[in-house]
């Protein structure tokens, strides 16, 4: 292929791609797009903290005192705020220690790549997030076993297979590690990993466990402490990955676990060693969010009240909202063109709710994914529900 053909092919791909809307406001209950307000039904700022005045104040004060820049954590980039944030997150999550990174994607990559070698064994739910899939690829592990979504019978079969593979020692003579990896909340359907059963099987077959709690932070458990707290499994899940860009409304990701594991990540993780530390602004915001959630569960309760109301009303109208157990509310369409048209008509009415189509979900499983927020009032939700009702009838999704 010539260089001209290479760039020509790229151009064709770009033309067929989706161009995102440009937002000219904060990420609150409403977004301003092209000068018009749109009900925000598709961002994952679950607790409405993106515009919180307490966080703004904490960020401004920290930046005024320390500036913005950091650096490599292992050189001149470890700031006192990073240490305080790691201690706060560990306390909040009920874990021994935390490592703070610049994103949840990097956290998943670090969590897996750092401890898994080519000769180890990873067992993964088939619907795990792309960052987990890429992390497994990055580790170059040869024995990658997949089990059907949430199917504990098949997970046990994969564990039996893994135990057989363990009989072949690694080049250094040691026994291969078995790691079970799962999302906590699955972002397209909103269903939960059966973590108690996974932990039970892991103990029986001597496997490590890892859960990506991106959509559980600030949502599940006491005061939003996540899926491990939700199931009261503290100290029984080896690796817990969190993403700060969802409910916390801040850039960053983190891993919690036993102190010896976290210390190992800080010494060996390439994502930690060869990347800048979190900015002063983001780190100050993390500290303030933890403080807010430790002081009150008011926002978490409001989120769940809004979720229950929205889902109940949509079901009353006849919409199929899937099997979600969380605020993630899929309104199932099936046909991809229908989902896209539905989203366009909602947008014209003032509701921003994106279509989710292949490859984000399987063909024939297209949907509009709604994520309510603690920032929404009942009036906001009623406007969204009324809009869904009108478009649903127009497109004959409901009668």
**pLDDT at res. 389:** 97
Same domain, 59 and 143: yes
**pLDDT at res. 249:** 96
Same domain, 82 and 197: yes
Active site residue 200: no
Same domain, 126 and 219: yes
Domain, as residue range, for 329: 20-46+297-394
Residue 11 lies in a domain: no
Same domain, 39 and 150: no
**pLDDT at res. 137:** 95
As beta bridge partners, residue 267 has none
Active site residue 246: yes
Q: How many domains does the chain have?
A: 2
Same domain, 304 and 288: no
Question: Quick check: 382 pLDDT over 80?
Answer: yes
Convert the pLDDT of each residue in 162-186 to its tens digit.
999 999 999 999 999 999 999 999 9
Residue 351 lies in a domain: yes
Residue 310 lies in a domain: yes
State the average pLDDT over residues 66-86.
Answer: 93
Same domain, 110 and 182: yes
Same domain, 283 and 307: no
Active-site choice (187, 249, 324, 354)? 187
Among 236, 265, 295, residue at a domain's last position: 295
**pLDDT at res. 20:** 86
Ramachandran quadrant class, 239 (left: phi over 0; alpha: psi -120 to 50; beta: rest): beta
Chain-wide mean pLDDT for the chain?
95
**pLDDT at res. 92:** 97
Of the pLDDT bands very low, low, confident and very high (cuts 50, 70, 90), residue 384 is very high
State the average pLDDT over residues 187-216.
Answer: 97
Supply φ then ψ for residue 148, to 5 degrees. -60, 145
Q: What angle do CA 60, 61, 63 make, to 5 degrees?
A: 65
Burial label for 69, CB within 10 Å (0-12, 13-18, 19+), is exposed
Residue 83 lies in a domain: yes
Q: Which residue, 105, 90, 77, is CA-closest to 279?
A: 77
**pLDDT at res. 360:** 85
Same domain, 98 and 193: yes
Residue 259 lies in a domain: yes
The CATH number of the domain where 384 resides is what? 3.90.1150.10
Least confident of 8-22, 83-97, 105-119: 8-22
d(CA 310, CA 304): 10
Same domain, 32 and 154: no
**pLDDT at res. 17:** 72
Convert the pLDDT of each residue in 255-289 to its tens digit.
999 999 999 999 999 999 999 999 999 999 999 99
Among 295, 325, 358, residue at a domain's last position: 295
Residue 13 lies in a domain: no
Q: How far is CA 249 from CA 78, 192, 306, in A?
A: 22, 22, 18
Residue with tokens 């896209």: 340
Active-site choice (38, 215, 230, 266)? 215
Tokens of 372: 């309510």
The CATH number of the domain where 80 resides is what? 3.40.640.10
Residue 10 lies in a domain: no
Residue 143 lies in a domain: yes
Please tell me which residue, 291 or 358, carries the higher pLDDT value.
291
Are the C-beta atoms of 373 and 46 separated by less than 8 Å?
yes
**pLDDT at res. 199:** 98
Same domain, 231 and 149: yes
Ordered DSSP codes for 342-383: HHHHHHHHTEE--EE-TTTS-TT-EEEEE---TT--HHHHHH
Same domain, 233 and 317: no
Active-site choice (79, 93, 129, 246)? 246
Q: Strands 178-183 and 121-125, how do they pair?
A: parallel
Convert the pLDDT of each residue in 306-333 to its tens digit.
999 999 999 999 999 999 999 999 999 9
Among 266, 295, 324, residue at a domain's last position: 295
Same domain, 252 and 239: yes
Tokens of 250: 């801040």
């Amino acid at each position: 292929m010539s260089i001209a053909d290479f760039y020509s092919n790229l151009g064709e791909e770009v033309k067929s791609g989706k161009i995102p809307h440009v937002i000219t406001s904060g990420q609150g209950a409403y977004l301003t797009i092209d000068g018009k307000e749109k009900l925000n039904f598709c961002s994952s700022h679950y607790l409405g903290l993106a515009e919180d005045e307490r966080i703004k104040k904490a960020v401004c004060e920290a930046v005024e005192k320390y500036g913005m820049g950091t650096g490599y954590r292992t050189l001149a980039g470890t700031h006192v705020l990073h240490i305080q944030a790691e201690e706060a997150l560990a306390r909040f999550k009920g874990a021994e220690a935390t490592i703070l990174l610049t994103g949840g994607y990097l956290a998943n990559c670090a969590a897996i790549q750092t401890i898994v070698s080519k000769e180890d064994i990873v067992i993964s739910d088939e619907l795990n997030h792309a960052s987990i899939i890429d992390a497994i690829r990055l580790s170059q592990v040869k024995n990658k076993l997949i089990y059907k979504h949430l199917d504990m019978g098949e997970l046990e079969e994969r564990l039996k297979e893994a135990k057989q593979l363990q009989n072949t020692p690694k080049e250094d003579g040691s026994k291969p590690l078995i790691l079970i990896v799962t999302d906590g909340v699955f972002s397209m359907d909103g269903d939960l990993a059966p973590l108690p059963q996974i932990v039970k099987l892991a103990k029986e077959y001597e496997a490590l466990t890892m859960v990506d709690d991106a959509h559980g932070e600030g949502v599940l458990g006491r005061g939003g402490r996540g899926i491990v707290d939700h199931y009261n499994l503290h100290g029984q899940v080896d690796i817990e990955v969190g993403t700060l860009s969802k409910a916390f409304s801040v850039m960053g990701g983190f891993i919690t676990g036993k102190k010896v594991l976290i210390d190992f990540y800080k010494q060996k993780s390439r994502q930690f060693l060869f990347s800048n530390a979190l900015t002063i602004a983001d780190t100050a915001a993390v500290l303030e969010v933890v403080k807010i959630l430790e002081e009150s569960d008011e926002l978490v309760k409001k989120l769940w009240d809004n979720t229950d109301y929205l889902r109940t009303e949509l079901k009353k109208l006849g919409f199929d909202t899937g099997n979600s157990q969380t605020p993630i509310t899929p309104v199932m369409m099936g046909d991809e063109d229908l989902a896209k048209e539905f989203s366009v008509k909602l947008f014209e009415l003032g509701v921003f709710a994106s279509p989710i189509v292949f490859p984000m979900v399987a063909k024939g499983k297209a949907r509009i994914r709604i994520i309510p927020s603690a920032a929404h009032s009942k009036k906001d939700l009623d406007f969204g529900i009324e809009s869904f009702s009108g478009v649903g009838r127009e497109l004959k999704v409901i009668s």
